[in-house]
Amino acid sequence: RIFLERERILIDQSSSQEKRGKRLEERENRLDERVKQFDKQKGEQEKQLKQDKQKLDKHKNEQDERDKRQEDRDRRLASQLKEKQLEGKTYIYSWLIQFSSLIVILVL
Confidence of residue 22 (pLDDT cuts 50, 70, 90): confident
- Per-residue pLDDT, 12: 75
What is the Cβ-side half-sphere exposure of residue 77, based on CA atoms within 13 angstroms?
A: 6
**Rounded to whole angstroms, what are the CA distances from 18 to 9, 25, 43, 50, 99?**
14, 10, 37, 47, 120
> What's the pTM value of the predicted model, to 2 decimals?
0.50
- The CA-based dihedral angle spanning residues 78, 81, 82, 84, taken in that order and rounded to the nearest 10 degrees: 160
pLDDT digits (tens, 9 = 90+) for 26-70: 999 999 999 999 999 999 999 999 999 999 999 999 999 999 999
